[in-house]
Amino acid sequence: MLKNSVLIIVFSIAVMFFQTEVGHVLRYLLMFHDKIADALASIFSSAPAGRMIQEIIALIIIPVIAGAIAAFVFWLIKRHEMPHIISTVWFVWTVLLVTILAQPVTATVTKAAAGAVTGTM
Protein backbone atom coordinates (compact mmCIF):
# COMPACT_ATOMS: atom_id res chain seq x y z
CA MET A 1 0.00 0.00 0.00
CA LEU A 2 2.82 2.38 0.83
CA LYS A 3 4.52 1.57 -2.47
CA ASN A 4 1.35 2.45 -4.42
CA SER A 5 0.90 5.68 -2.47
CA VAL A 6 4.48 6.76 -3.16
CA LEU A 7 4.08 5.80 -6.82
CA ILE A 8 0.95 7.91 -7.28
CA ILE A 9 2.65 10.89 -5.64
CA VAL A 10 5.73 10.51 -7.87
CA PHE A 11 3.58 10.17 -11.01
CA SER A 12 1.52 13.21 -10.01
CA ILE A 13 4.65 15.30 -9.54
CA ALA A 14 6.06 14.08 -12.87
CA VAL A 15 2.83 14.92 -14.70
CA MET A 16 2.82 18.42 -13.22
CA PHE A 17 6.40 19.01 -14.42
CA PHE A 18 5.65 17.63 -17.89
CA GLN A 19 2.05 18.77 -18.29
CA THR A 20 2.60 20.41 -21.69
CA GLU A 21 4.15 17.21 -23.03
CA VAL A 22 1.34 15.13 -21.55
CA GLY A 23 -1.13 17.51 -23.18
CA HIS A 24 0.56 16.95 -26.55
CA VAL A 25 0.40 13.18 -26.11
CA LEU A 26 -3.29 13.34 -25.24
CA ARG A 27 -3.99 15.59 -28.24
CA TYR A 28 -2.19 13.12 -30.54
CA LEU A 29 -4.17 10.28 -28.97
CA LEU A 30 -7.40 12.14 -29.73
CA MET A 31 -6.25 12.90 -33.28
CA PHE A 32 -5.47 9.20 -33.80
CA HIS A 33 -8.92 8.29 -32.43
CA ASP A 34 -10.60 10.79 -34.77
CA LYS A 35 -8.64 9.53 -37.79
CA ILE A 36 -9.69 5.94 -37.09
CA ALA A 37 -13.31 7.00 -36.58
CA ASP A 38 -13.22 9.02 -39.82
CA ALA A 39 -11.69 6.08 -41.70
CA LEU A 40 -14.55 3.91 -40.46
CA ALA A 41 -17.05 6.47 -41.80
CA SER A 42 -16.78 4.90 -45.26
CA ILE A 43 -17.94 1.58 -43.80
CA PHE A 44 -20.72 2.72 -41.48
CA SER A 45 -23.53 5.19 -42.08
CA SER A 46 -23.45 8.75 -40.84
CA ALA A 47 -26.60 8.17 -38.81
CA PRO A 48 -26.27 8.41 -35.02
CA ALA A 49 -26.09 4.61 -34.66
CA GLY A 50 -23.38 4.36 -37.34
CA ARG A 51 -21.40 7.18 -35.76
CA MET A 52 -21.66 5.49 -32.36
CA ILE A 53 -20.32 2.23 -33.82
CA GLN A 54 -17.42 4.15 -35.39
CA GLU A 55 -16.55 5.75 -32.06
CA ILE A 56 -16.79 2.45 -30.17
CA ILE A 57 -14.55 0.61 -32.62
CA ALA A 58 -12.00 3.44 -32.53
CA LEU A 59 -12.14 3.37 -28.72
CA ILE A 60 -11.36 -0.36 -28.77
CA ILE A 61 -8.71 -0.40 -31.51
CA ILE A 62 -6.31 2.15 -30.00
CA PRO A 63 -5.77 0.41 -26.61
CA VAL A 64 -5.38 -2.97 -28.32
CA ILE A 65 -2.74 -1.51 -30.67
CA ALA A 66 -0.96 0.17 -27.74
CA GLY A 67 -1.00 -3.10 -25.77
CA ALA A 68 0.29 -5.03 -28.78
CA ILE A 69 3.15 -2.57 -29.30
CA ALA A 70 4.06 -2.69 -25.59
CA ALA A 71 3.96 -6.51 -25.62
CA PHE A 72 6.09 -6.65 -28.79
CA VAL A 73 8.73 -4.32 -27.32
CA PHE A 74 8.71 -6.33 -24.09
CA TRP A 75 9.13 -9.55 -26.07
CA LEU A 76 12.03 -8.05 -28.06
CA ILE A 77 13.81 -7.15 -24.83
CA LYS A 78 12.96 -10.08 -22.53
CA ARG A 79 12.12 -12.83 -25.08
CA HIS A 80 9.02 -13.99 -23.20
CA GLU A 81 5.39 -12.98 -22.90
CA MET A 82 4.58 -9.68 -21.24
CA PRO A 83 2.78 -10.03 -17.93
CA HIS A 84 -0.16 -7.73 -17.24
CA ILE A 85 -0.85 -6.96 -20.89
CA ILE A 86 -4.58 -6.70 -20.19
CA SER A 87 -3.85 -4.13 -17.47
CA THR A 88 -1.93 -2.11 -20.05
CA VAL A 89 -4.87 -2.24 -22.46
CA TRP A 90 -7.31 -1.21 -19.72
CA PHE A 91 -5.03 1.66 -18.65
CA VAL A 92 -4.80 3.05 -22.19
CA TRP A 93 -8.56 2.56 -22.66
CA THR A 94 -9.30 4.47 -19.45
CA VAL A 95 -6.97 7.34 -20.37
CA LEU A 96 -8.48 7.55 -23.86
CA LEU A 97 -12.04 7.43 -22.54
CA VAL A 98 -11.42 10.16 -19.98
CA THR A 99 -9.71 12.29 -22.62
CA ILE A 100 -12.64 11.87 -25.01
CA LEU A 101 -15.20 12.61 -22.29
CA ALA A 102 -13.26 15.71 -21.20
CA GLN A 103 -13.65 17.26 -24.65
CA PRO A 104 -16.33 19.92 -24.99
CA VAL A 105 -19.43 18.67 -26.75
CA THR A 106 -20.11 20.51 -29.99
CA ALA A 107 -23.68 20.21 -31.13
CA THR A 108 -24.38 20.45 -34.83
CA VAL A 109 -27.34 22.72 -35.36
CA THR A 110 -29.32 21.93 -38.46
CA LYS A 111 -31.47 24.46 -40.26
CA ALA A 112 -34.69 22.76 -39.07
CA ALA A 113 -33.51 22.65 -35.47
CA ALA A 114 -32.47 26.30 -35.59
CA GLY A 115 -35.85 27.22 -37.04
CA ALA A 116 -37.65 25.27 -34.33
CA VAL A 117 -35.75 27.16 -31.66
CA THR A 118 -36.42 30.59 -33.14
CA GLY A 119 -39.96 29.75 -34.25
CA THR A 120 -39.24 30.26 -37.99
CA MET A 121 -38.82 27.77 -40.77
Domain ranges of the chain: 2-118
Tell if the pTM clears 0.75, that is, is over it: no
φ and ψ at 115, to 5 degrees? -65, -35
CB 63 within 8 A of CB 93: yes
Q: What is the DSSP letter of 42?
A: G
- Evaluate the CA torsion angle 23, 19, 107, 56 in order and state its sign: positive
Residue numbers of the chain with a pLDDT score lower than 70: 106-121
Q: How high is the pLDDT of residue 97? A: 92
Of 106, 110, 96, the C-alpha closest to 66 is 96
Q: How high is the pLDDT of residue 41? A: 87
